Chains A and B, each alone.
Chain A
Amino acid sequence: MTNGKAIIDAHNISKIYNADTIPVYAVNNVHLHIEEGEFTALVGPSGSGKTTLLNLIGGLDKADAGNIYINNIDITKLSAGKLIDFRLKNIGFVFQSFNLIPVLTAKENVEFIMLLQGAGKTERLQRVQQLFKEIGLEDKLNSRPAELSGGQQQRVAVARALASKPRFVLADEPTANLDSKSAANLLDIMEMLNKEEKITFLFSTHDQRVIQRARRVVTLVDGAVAEDTSNTMMNGKL
């Protein structure tokens, strides 16, 4: 695992809320090294800092200390405008819920990201077709989010996360609102993308069944890394 290409390299990062009243060390001096092709789960009790850490790595929030290298670029040094652009090109996001823009169709939600990147029409169309095939929703292209099940919405969210061809995807509890069948289905798709397209996934979760399918599990407690284990055995079985 140490000889691969580093995608995420976080050094000594901390995030402190309410620094001037009762400080909350949401993320406390965390080191995290993720390599290309990983399929890693971030676990830990509620309030342990999973969301905060993902937000820091994704550049959605500013760290109070430390450096975060994504593809060898220190995102803590980027200006706000550059950071938005960086996110668009390099990182795919899947959130827990309300991932999609309700007024747009599934297809438009995915296309939207490519529009932001300035992709041409034929390119967008091809990519959308391909992504919807991968998530198994070719027949739902023109459905609005309200007409899709929670699982289907999350699959569209995964498609959208990949629309801009990022090398890795951050997902904060992507299965939290899904029944176990939909959750398994979403994991299947993520795993397939991980294997076939070498997309790196870092996702937080509470769900034991999801944790089992990760190849590496990083456990946070009180904002610090308490445990970091590889599930190679499990992986071999799959």
Chain B
Amino acid sequence: MRSIIVMMSIAIGLFAGMAVLSLYKGMMKSRIATVVNAEIGHIQIHDTDFKKDYEPRFFIKNANTVLHEIQKIPEIKAIALRSITTGMLITPTGSAGVKINGIIPAQENGVSQLKLKIKKGKGFSEKKKNEVFIGKKLADKMKLKPGSKLVLTFTDTAGEIVSGAFRIAAIYQSDNAPLDERNVYVKIADLNELLGLTDQFHEIAIIIQDDKYLASVKKKLQQHLPQYQVDSWIDISPEMDLMVKTTDQYSYIIIVIIMIALAFGIINTMLMAILERTREIGMMIALGTSRIRVFMLILFETFFLTAAGTPIGIFLAWGIISYFNKRGLDLSGMGKEMMSSFGFNTLVYPEFPGEKLFGILVIVVSTAIISCLFPAARALKLKPADALRR
């Protein structure tokens, strides 16, 4: 009975550790997927001066050469051309600083999936001019809805202040609320007209066939387009990379906490087991079992229980994680607002942390062994005469 408890605590400890890691891994993967597929794309190309101040005059020159180079790389799946500027969004009730993205709607669907994020409104229509998408958070703040009018003000390529009246065609929402608040989307032709551009653009967002080509594609582009700035999503969003790494550390802290709980569980059950078997252990010592042997027996017992509990834990973890990996685990109970303000989707697809399996195993097994040392030491102090009187 006791052995089953110890075995189960080891299994559950292992499972809990794996569950935490799988959850983190799933969250990180989905976050990266969001960053790549809905925000940044894998790679972006700009004029080398553009990102300093987002000045509209630093558009991509020799666009045809650039596009030609891109077409030569087979790993590239989709691209989106954007012209970009920063400015003010003004309504009768207030104003806000925004980044204005001039886009080609058909291209965006393959890169940032803008269409899928529409919460209200019909989206861009072919014929109408000066339509705009704004994020839900901004819309709520400024009390705007589809059909509302607003004015966008910014400087053109010549440095003159220009403004245009736009009508809201859609309100969109992504998993990243801060980004939603800052970005508005208009059609590239409308923006270029105001900026004083024609067919030019400032940004090329690229989606590649698979994450694994990221470094090689970036390198190729950089070689062929030395006069442009080629960035991968890691360069653009270094905080994302940092977050992945710190979460890794946090997950280990959580594992340590779980292991401390596990250790107390094992110490407790093993102490009880020894208390229960005081007579038995006392008798073994009385009959001539050396204390080292008694110690080893208890150690071996724990070791075998660990060995028995481990596959159960791994199997449990694997089963449950695979289930939720397919179905998705809804964490909206934890607060949709909170998750989205950090840019996380509330539907997490936990992933089995295979590469960390060995590490967790080592931690769990050593926790179990270390936590049985104390009860084992207690057993050694038993005086056979006292133990036998029980």
Contact = CB atoms under 8 A, between A and B. Distances in A.
B383 interface: yes
15 contacts: A55-B385, A60-B286, A60-B385, A60-B388, A81-B290, A84-B290, A84-B291, A85-B288, A85-B290, A88-B289, A93-B286, A93-B287, A95-B283, A98-B283, A101-B284
Nearest to B285: A84
Contact of B288 (A51, A55, A113): A113
A3 B389 CA distance: 36
Contacts of A101: 280, 283-284
B291 to A, nearest CB: 7
Q: Which of B280, B288, B291 has the most CB atoms of chain A within a 10 A radius of its CB?
A: B288
A116 B293 contact: yes
Contacts of B293: 116
Interface string B360-383: 000000000000000000000001
B286 A58 contact: yes
Nearest to A99: B283
A215 interface: no
Given A60-B384, A60-B385, A87 B283 contact: no
A40 interface: no
A238 B288 CA distance: 35
B279 interface: yes
A98 B288 contact: no
A113 B385 contact: no
A69 B254 CA distance: 60
A61 interface: yes
Interface of A: 51, 55, 58, 60-61, 81, 84-85, 87-89, 93, 95, 98-99, 101-102, 113, 116, 160, 164
Nearest to B292: A81
Interface of B, secondary structure class, is helix
A84 B288 contact: yes
B356 to A, nearest CB: 36
B6 to A, nearest CB: 15
B288 A61 contact: no
A99 to B, nearest CB: 7
Contacts of A84: 285, 288-291
A88 B288 contact: yes
Given A58-B286, A88-B287, 9 more contacts: A51-B389, A55-B385, A60-B286, A61-B384, A81-B290, A84-B291, A89-B288, A99-B283, A113-B287
Contacts of A95: 283, 286, 388
B288 A164 contact: yes
Nearest to A86: B288
